[in-house]
Structure 1
Amino acid sequence: MDISEIVIEGDSAGIAWRLPVLRFAGSDPDAPKVYIQAALHAGELPGTALLHFLCERLRRAEAEGAIRSDITIVPHANPIGAAQGLFGGMEGRFDLGSRANFNRDFPLVSLRDRGLLIDDLDRYRAPDRLKRQLIHMALGADLVIDLHCDDESLQYAYIDEVFWPEASDLAAALDMDAVLLSDGESSAFEEAVSFAWKYEAPGEKKSRLPGKLSVTVELRGMRDVYPEMAAKDAAGLWRFLAARGIVRDEAVKLSSFAGPAVPLDNIEMIRAPHAGTVLFHRNIGERVSKGDLLATIIVAPGMPDGTIEVRAPQAGLIVTRVSDRLVRRRGDLMKIGCDMPSAATRKPGALED
């Protein structure tokens, strides 16, 4: 395993961040190259734990000569966000200097312009230099996996429709509960990677990308950081790498993915109609019917008629739930994956900021 660091100089004097990069060299130059990163939202740590266990397995494979492809791993992709302390808490999702989401506003370039991403980096702020160097590394690979987690959540993935159903092997290997089929219209990391591949020839959009994959994997919830879970997830990612011929493991046999694959238009974003204390009646992983009571919001504690009910707009699977119990008006409560499109209008791109 080769270990290097990318040094990101701060935007004020005396500050710099170090980004460790781990590389495993493959024996077959024709095998698809792999890039995996975790914790782009710095406080989302299930992926970092997964990669710790996966690297242990990869080091054994390296000693046995069982790694066929070049594998690049960034176990914690956001040292800037990890260093942002605010009143005793970490803000790792948004850059405090610009209010920008660390997983938005990645440059949308053609693959042939990959080199331009790291030209004259000093003219960019530190978070943008980080983003440019991350996506530059990723565009040197064929299979790109960005490990995140949700709040309270099943295990699921955002997969651009251009990769589906070929990417069902990843969903099967990780035993995902659901797949959300995205439209590729945001500037999030994995969609910026697929944009570069789709527009390898500028102005000519590819509708299929065989042999390629760029995906966001949501490894359950923020607090689901346990050794047994991380080891299980690492074993699942190993199975995927073996099935794709990245590593040699003749014992790996994948079953078919049996979970739902739901377009983003079929996701019901359940939002709070009023501020207050939320009492959930249904949990992640439960299937609900139209009209089922999902939550009660106490909007006027102790008062007659001081509550509001939130009911399911249609039948579906509860994929995520917010962990906060004091909610703001229009704050997200749940994501429900449904068989039919939502009646709510959705703009192209990501479901949330």
Structure 2
Amino acid sequence: MTKAITSALNVGELAAGQVLSVPLFTFKGTDNRAPTVYVQANVHGAEVQGNAVIYQLMTLLENCHVLGDIVFAPLANPLGINQKSGEFTLGRFDPITGVNWNREYLDHKIDIAAWYKQHQDLPNDELIKSFKATLTEACHTKLQQPWGITTGHRLAVNLQSLAHSADIVLDLHTGPKSCKHLYCPEYDMDSAKFFSIPYSLIIPNSFGGAMDEAAFCPWWQLTEYAASQGRHFDVPVAAFTLELASQERIDMADALVDAKGIMAYLSHRGVIQEAVQPAKMPRYACYLKDYKKFHAPQSGMVEYCAKVGEPLLAGNTLVNILRLDLYGSDKACTSLSLDKDCVPILHFASASVHQGTELYKVMTNVFEFPC
């Protein structure tokens, strides 16, 4: 039986001096040629299902032949996890700065042309090793800069330095009220068929601040520039964000389903020796440009009529908005619909909304992945 090695990552200090740390669990591989993996969960405080998936994954791995090192960081944001108000967990934004915890990662902004010119004589394996060292060192430099960095940025860059040591990065999240969906880089679309997730958002090579982008964007930029110079190699790092349905929820049986999907991907990549087949299921996708937000045109009490993960035809009711202050008029209850077919992916958690609240995110121009 394979056992995980336990350790902790120091990510900061509380005002009273206590050390903030994230527990780490490492499965050591037996083949240094196999890809290495970093998996984190719970960067947003209410998004707890990823911890259940990590538990199920580690349980499965105990009975596997692990070839590549796998590092797990559950409970990755202790500040956000403990950010409570009554029965609710608020930990989506840093309460000090207001910044989304998942938008705090370092944008390296490397001069790729200059870096490549300096290292172009290296063989591919040495080039990749050197670029990985450049990314990791940039994180360490950021953490040590003399003027200091914010609490949230310190947490994120510490996690990012772990991610940069891996060949595969999985960031486990959930939505407010959501179906499962996967953020997948365009260069790696084929990988979506291994995860037990029905919907994928295909994202471009642009940094928006999230962990998956922090992990893969520099490598995508390097391979594109190298190709422009006549040198071709695959993007060495794969990174995905897995949205595992809704927040404030633990479902161990469902976590096992997602763990098995991740195992199928790890098997495909040669991280584990065992052959694990992906689940047979239809899988659909759209490009990020076709992932649309619908904002409340007025305030009120909302009935969310469209079910997440189920296609909605143009003209069918998306929401009903109740305005009791307008009782007696034709505006007391308003039905709203969209003018094009879509698949609702997630909606706002509360039934009480301000004008302008982001009510739904929906996929449009959806296509099916070939089996």
* Length-normalised TM-score, structure 2: 0.82
1:319 Cα shift? Answer: 1.6
2:270 aligned with 1:245: yes
Identity over aligned pairs, percent: 24
The equivalences for 1:119-130 within 5 A come to 119=141, 121=143, 123-130=148-155
- What is aligned with 1:351? none
- What is aligned with 1:51? 54
The equivalences for 1:219-258 within 5 A come to 219-250=244-275, 252-254=276-278, 258=282
Compare the two structures and name the one with the higher helix fraction: 2
Q: Which amino acid is the alignment partner of residue 312 of structure 1? A: L
**Separation of aligned partners in 1, 2:318 and 2:87:** 32
Q: Which amino acid is the alignment partner of residue 173 of structure 1? A: F
The equivalences for 1:337-352 within 5 A come to 337-339=363-365
Q: Could you report, residue by residue, the CA deviation over 1:229-252 in whole angstroms, capped at 9, with x for unpaired residues? A: 1122222212221122111213x2
RMSD: 2.5
Q: Which amino acid is the alignment partner of residue 271 of structure 1? A: H
SS of the residue aligned with 1:60? coil
Q: Which runs of 4+ in 1 moved over 6 A?
A: 201-208
Contact 1:11 / 1:125 at 8 angstroms: preserved in 2?
A: no
Contact 2:347 / 2:359 at 8 angstroms: preserved in 1?
A: yes
1:325 Cα shift? Answer: 0.6
- What is aligned with 1:214? 239
Q: Say if 1:307 and 1:158 are closer, same or farther in 2 by CA, change over 3 A.
A: same
Contact 2:285 / 2:366 at 8 angstroms: preserved in 1?
A: no
The equivalences for 1:34-73 within 5 A come to 34-61=37-64, 66-73=65-72
- What is aligned with 1:21? 24
**Separation of aligned partners in 2, 1:202 and 1:49:** 37
Unpaired runs of 5+ in structure 2? 111-131
**Separation of aligned partners in 2, 1:287 and 1:85:** 35
More displaced, 110-119 or 180-189? 110-119
Contact 1:108 / 1:195 at 8 angstroms: preserved in 2?
A: no
* Length-normalised TM-score, structure 1: 0.86
- Give the paired residue count: 332
**Separation of aligned partners in 2, 1:46 and 1:127:** 22
- What is aligned with 2:7? 4
2:154 aligned with 1:154: no
Q: Say if 1:205 and 1:187 are closer, same or farther in 2 by CA, change over 3 A.
A: farther
Unpaired runs of 5+ in structure 1? 342-353
Contact 1:36 / 1:72 at 8 angstroms: preserved in 2?
A: yes
Q: Which amino acid is the alignment partner of residue 90 of structure 1? A: T
Larger radius of gyration: 2
2:361 aligned with 1:335: yes
Q: Say if 1:88 and 1:315 are closer, same or farther in 2 by CA, change over 3 A.
A: closer
Q: Which amino acid is the alignment partner of residue 156 of structure 1? A: H
Q: Which amino acid is the alignment partner of residue 240 of structure 1? A: Y
Contact 2:215 / 2:237 at 8 angstroms: preserved in 1?
A: no
Of 288, 296, 316, the match for 1:292: 316
